[in-house]
Amino acid sequence: MNRIALAIHGGCGVMAKLDLSEEEWAAARADLHCSLQVGWAVLSAGGSALDAVQAAVVVMEDSPHFNAGYGAALNTEGEHELDASIMDGRTLEAGAVTLARRIRNPIKAARRVMEKGEAVLLGGASADAFAQAEGLDIVEAGYFTTERRVKALAAMKAHVTAGTAVKASEAEKHGTVGAVALDRAGHLAAATSTGGYNNKPAGRIGDTPIVGAGTYARDGLCAVSGTGKGEFFIRYAIGHEVASRINYLGEDLETAASKVIMKDLKPYNIGAGLVAVSADGSIAAPYNTDGMFRGWVTPEGQFCIATHQKVFEVSAA
C-alpha cells in the first residue's frame, strides 16, 4: 500500500503579526486545520488525490481568512474576478475558470470543466453560465465581499495615489489558496484558487488558472500549487519547472522547489511561495516572504500548520 500525503497553502506574504489579533490568527489556523482534516479524511478512506485537493480548497474558499471565494480580493473597479484550476497527475487532464463573478466555489467549476473535457479553461460570463448549467452554487457578487478586503482595496488605492505601491505589504497586495496530494494508488493532484490581488486591473488573469504555472501535477514526479506575483509564475512556468527539475536533473522535491522560489525569482524582489508533494510523499513549502499560511500531513499522519516561522503540530481530530 502506498503512502499518502497532503499539503495546503492559504497564500504567502501573510500580514505582520500585529496586524491581526491572536484570536484572528487562531481562527485562520483553525480553518487551515479544517482544510487538512477534510482532505486527509478523503485520502485515509482510500479516496483520490483529486477529490482530496478539491475538498481541501473548498474549505478555504468558504473561509473569510483567505483570498479565494468568500473574502476574495477586489479589482480596480471594486469587483471580484475569481480564478481556479485543478489537475489530475494520473492523466494530465486539467480544468480551470477565470474572471468568474458568481461561482461560490470556483474550484468545483474547474473540476467540472476538466470532467467535461471540452475545454481546459473557461472565462468570464461563460464560466459563470457553465457553472450554473452544471448545478453548482451561484451567488450574488456581494457574497464574496468582506470588510477586510474593502479596507485592503482602499489601502492599495492610497498607495497608488501616494506613489508608494511598491511599499505595500504583501497582505495588501495578494493571496491564493491551494492544495496538493498523493493518494494510496500513487496518483498526484493539485488545485489552486484565488481572487487575484487587491486593486488589480479589471480583466487581469494571473497564474492560478494557467496549468503549468500556478498549478501542476504529474504522476511519478510531483504536484505543485503556487502563490505570489502571478505574472512571474507564468513567465517561469513555475509548477512545470519544479517537475522538470525533478524529471530531467534528478533533483529531490525540496531542492527543486526551493530553487525556483529562492533563486529563480530572487532578482525580481517579489513575494512567492508554493506547496508541493512528490511521488514518494515528500513535502516542500518554500516561501520568500515574512510568512505563508500553510499546512501539511506527513505520510505518518502528523498534522502541521503555520503562518510564520513557527510550525504548530496539531491533532488529527
The residues annotated as belonging to the active site are 176
225: closest CA among 21, 85, 117, 130? 85
Q: Checking DSSP bridges between strand 222-228 and strand 121-123, what pairing results, if any? A: unpaired
Per DSSP bridges, beta strands 215-218 and 188-197 are unpaired
Longest dimension (CA), the chain: 59
DSSP state of 142: G
In the DSSP assignment, the letter for residue 16 is P
Give CA angle at 48 (90, 184), nearest 5°.
85
C-alpha–C-alpha distance, residues 170 and 148, integer Å:
14
> DSSP states of 40-102 as a string?
HHHHHTT--HHHHHHHHHHHHHT-TTSSSSTT---BTTS---EEEEEEETTT--EEEEEEESS
Strands in 215-218's sheet, in edge-to-edge order, are: 215-218, 222-228, 272-278, 283-284
Identity of the residue numbered 124: G
* Alpha helices in 194-237, H assignment, sequence order: 230-235
Single-letter code of the amino acid located at 4:
I
Q: Name the E strands within 101-201.
A: 121-123, 174-182, 188-197
Backbone angles phi, psi at 69, to 5 degrees: 60, -130
Instruction: Report how far Cα 175 is from the mean position of its chain's Cα atoms.
Output: 8
